[in-house]
Amino acid sequence: MDICKVMHHFRECAWVQINAGDTALMWSDNLQLDGQVSTLQLRYPRLYSYVKDPWITILEFLDSQDIFQHFHLPLSSQAFDDLNILQSMLGGLNRTPGSKDNWFWKGTAKGYSPKLFCSHTFASASFNPLTAWIWKSSCTMKIKVFAWMLIMDRLNTKDMVDRRHWHLEDGVNCALCPLQTRETRDHQFFNCNFSVRVWNYLQIDWASGDSMAHLVLNASRSFRKPFFTEVVFIACWNIWIIRNAKVFRHERARFNRWRSAFIHDITLMQYRVKVAFKDDLLRWISFLPP
């Protein structure tokens, strides 16, 4: 859902009790005037047809010295009558100019909050449960972005590049193993000989589960460490580095190189994970095979 649709949805389901008037749009927000809650553009369509700036705030409208400057003149007699009624309503507002505007859910006196709005807006939306693990992890933002691309299958694997109709001189097969298998995300990070060796080294089992979410959940339960996501993301990150070095610089894919880079990166995580997990992390690293 793009930001314009979100804002439109917000203005449909909320109304404002005016004080300062700087957060409410004069014509398109639901206002409480004369005991009714509605938008002025729907309430006074003839007057609205003469408006110059439909996005003006109530504060800007009320603070103007000449109210007619906001309209294309001359006004029709019906629009002029609407303007007189509107001026009378605005002049009778019981507001505190120095206070914030009060926002409520339309049809209720329940106060607005961003959390409630998001819950209401995205109640029927479906999300990949693994994405929540990304932002809760202690990894650097660079690796978090990489992890999101990995989970959503947005990395430029050869399979992805081929699907975008780019020509690949070296073909679409995996560069890290001799299996002559198409380099998809799942093969590259979970089924490739190189990756299988990585997960065996880390003692992480991806064998059970009928979806990626189930695979990850089962693997995390088997791993039984609170820094599971950090280990997986950093392991995948360094697999991707080894893969790119092979594809673009024709460097040999060496497991020892991956292991050195992984241990370096995961050791640095001692400064980012929760203090309660630090000793457990360092102990786990010390037991990794040399």
Tokens of 266: 């995961």
Q: How many domains does the chain have?
A: 2
Range from 14-18, 26-30, 81-85, 230-234 carrying the lowest mean pLDDT:
14-18
The percent helix, strand, coil of the chain (3-state, each to 5) is 55, 10, 40
Tokens of 100: 């914030």
Q: Indicate whether 126 belongs to any domain.
A: no
Residue that finishes a domain, picked among 121, 155, 183: 121
Do 53 and 114 lie in one domain? The reply is yes
Do 209 and 149 lie in one domain? The reply is yes
At residue 121, what is the residue type?
T
Expressed as residue numbers, the domain containing 50 is 3-121
Q: Roughly what angle, to the nearest 10 degrees, separates helices 212-223 and 228-249?
A: 120
Do 273 and 144 lie in one domain? The reply is yes
- Between 122 and 4, the more confident residue is 122
Do 78 and 213 lie in one domain? The reply is no
Summary mean pLDDT of the chain: 88
d(CA 56, CA 188): 53
Q: Roughly what angle, to the nearest 10 degrees, separates helices 114-121 and 3-13?
A: 110
Do 198 and 114 lie in one domain? The reply is no
Do 264 and 148 lie in one domain? The reply is yes
Q: Note the pLDDT tens digit of each residue in 167-186.
A: 888 899 999 998 889 999 99
Do 232 and 258 lie in one domain? The reply is yes
* 245-254 own/partner pairs: CB under 8 Å, 24+ apart: 246/175, 246/176, 247/170, 247/175, 253/175, 253/176, 253/194
Mean pLDDT of 276-286: 95
Q: Find which of 87-101, 112-126, 215-229 is predicted with most confidence, using mean pLDDT.
A: 215-229
Backbone angles phi, psi at 134, to 5 degrees: -60, -55
Mean pLDDT of 131-139: 90
